[in-house]
Each structure stands twice: as structure tokens, then as C-alpha cells.
């Protein structure tokens, strides 16, 4: 039995409107995308610029130029070892590969500078530069750098070369990882999209409250009340 028809009908109408708007949000009415994908792309493009740390990382890497290191790296497969070995050789390291294991030696600062150059290219969505450099897809090369640097960092830590391990991890997380994750996304400045961002945040709050009040009015219309 409905105790307060007016209040219940108000809540029911609000819920119907909420559902209608929800359905509209899932139509490709936002530059060919549904609202979720459109907003995801917007915030990814804005966050891309805030995740750009390559120049700062290069300054830290410069401190390791001339620092010779020797490591034995075990890749996940022979194919991965072959790709990583080629990349290390192109960037100045001596490499001896046997199956999935690489024995490498060379200038740590020089090879990390090469990694940062590749990350810069990928950050600018220029995967063709890596394709021409290594002979395979730029995104694959970036992934191989990430896994290879992870193996290198663990090897350096194992041999108590903690400073060297830290800079390798820094390059991996501050340059390679963002370059891989943001590849294909055009970075935008939030100042250029401030109005859209503001509308989206305010709209989210209003839409959430809309649902909440619809439930509240329907329940109160039924005669249900929350009491202490």
C-alpha cells in the first residue's frame, strides 16, 4: 500500500528519468563513443601530460654515464632473450646469448639513455622509430624494455648494487611504463578542457544525488522511513 502517492510518483518519475539518461549515456552520442569511453579518453589525455618525467629521469641517468656493469639476465623465453639482446647491443652493450640467458656488459648510463630515447618516441606516439631501430613493433620493444629492466634491477640488487638498481627501476617506472600505457593517446592540457572537466564532475555529483533522492522519495512514498 502506497502511503503518500505524490511523493512516490515523484520518486518514480525521477527514477524513470535517471534510467532514460543512463540508457542515453551508453549510446555513441559523444564523438562516436558512449559517455564512459569518452570520459575515459578525456581523463587519460589530460593525465598523460602529468605523467611525463623523462627529462627529470635523464638528469639522474647522466650521473651513471661511464658506470660499467656486468650482468647475467634470464629472460622468459629464447625469443624474448633474442629481442632484448638485440636492443641492448644497439644501445652499446656487449651481449652473449645462450638460449634464454644473456651475459651483458657495458655502460649503464649509456644504455639507459637509449631506453629513455625510445620512451620519448613512444610517448610521442612515434612507434615507427623503434620499429626501424630494432626491426619489430615499437610497443613490443617497449614491453621488452620494461621486462628487461625489471630483470636487470633484480640482478643488481642481488649483487648489492643498490644505486644502480634504483636508477634502473626509476627509468622503468617513470619513463617506460607511462610510455607504454599512454601510447596512442594524444596528451591535452587541462587548461584547454577545464570547462568540460568541471561540467563532468558537477554532472557526476548531480546524477548521483538524482538517483539517491529517487530512491528516498519512492521509499517514503511507500511509507518506509529510517529511524534511530
**Domain count across the chain:** 2
Domain contains 228: no
Mean pLDDT, the chain, integer: 92
Cα separation, 78 vs 62, in Å, equals 32
Expressed as residue numbers, the domain containing 167 is: 55-181
Domain contains 70: yes
Domain contains 101: yes
* Contact indicator for 58, 116 with CB cutoff of 8 Å: yes
Place 225 in a pLDDT band, splitting at 50, 70 and 90: low
Cα separation, 45 vs 123, in Å, equals 12
Domain contains 227: no
* Contact indicator for 181, 50 with CB cutoff of 8 Å: no
Does residue 204 share a domain with residue 163? Answer: no
- pLDDT tens digits, one per residue of 147-175: 999 999 999 999 999 999 999 999 999 99
Does residue 88 share a domain with residue 106? Answer: yes
Phi, psi of 26 (to 5 degrees): -90, 5
Amino acid at each position: 500500500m502506497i502511503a503518500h502517492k505524490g511523493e512516490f510518483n515523484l520518486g518514480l518519475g525521477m527514477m524513470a528519468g535517471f534510467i532514460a539518461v543512463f540508457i542515453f549515456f551508453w549510446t555513441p552520442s559523444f564523438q562516436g563513443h558512449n559517455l564512459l569511453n569518452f570520459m575515459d579518453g578525456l581523463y587519460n589525455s589530460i593525465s598523460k601530460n602529468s605523467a611525463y618525467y623523462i627529462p627529470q629521469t635523464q638528469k639522474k641517468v647522466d650521473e651513471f654515464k661511464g658506470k660499467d656493469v656486468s650482468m647475467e639476465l634470464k629472460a622468459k623465453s629464447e625469443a624474448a632473450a633474442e629481442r632484448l639482446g638485440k636492443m641492448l647491443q644497439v644501445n652499446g652493450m656487449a651481449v652473449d646469448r645462450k638460449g634464454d640467458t644473456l651475459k651483458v656488459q657495458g655502460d649503464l648510463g649509456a644504455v639507459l639513455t637509449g631506453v629513455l630515447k625510445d620512451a620519448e618516441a613512444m610517448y610521442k606516439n612515434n612507434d615507427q622509430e623503434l620499429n626501424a631501430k630494432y626491426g619489430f613493433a615499437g610497443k613490443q620493444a617497449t614491453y621488452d624494455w620494461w621486462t628487461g629492466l625489471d630483470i636487470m634491477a633484480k640482478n643488481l640488487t642481488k649483487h648489492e648494487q643498490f644505486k644502480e638498481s634504483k636508477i634502473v627501476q626509476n627509468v622503468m617506472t617513470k619513463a617506460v611504463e607511462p610510455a607504454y600505457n599512454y601510447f596512442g593517446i594524444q596528451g591535452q592540457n587541462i587548461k584547454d578542457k577545464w570547462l568540460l572537466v568541471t561540467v563532468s564532475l558537477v554532472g557526476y555529483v548531480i546524477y548521483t544525488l538524482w538517483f539517491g533522492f529517487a530512491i528516498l522519495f519512492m521509499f517514503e512514498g511507500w511509507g518506509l522511513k529510517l529511524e534511530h
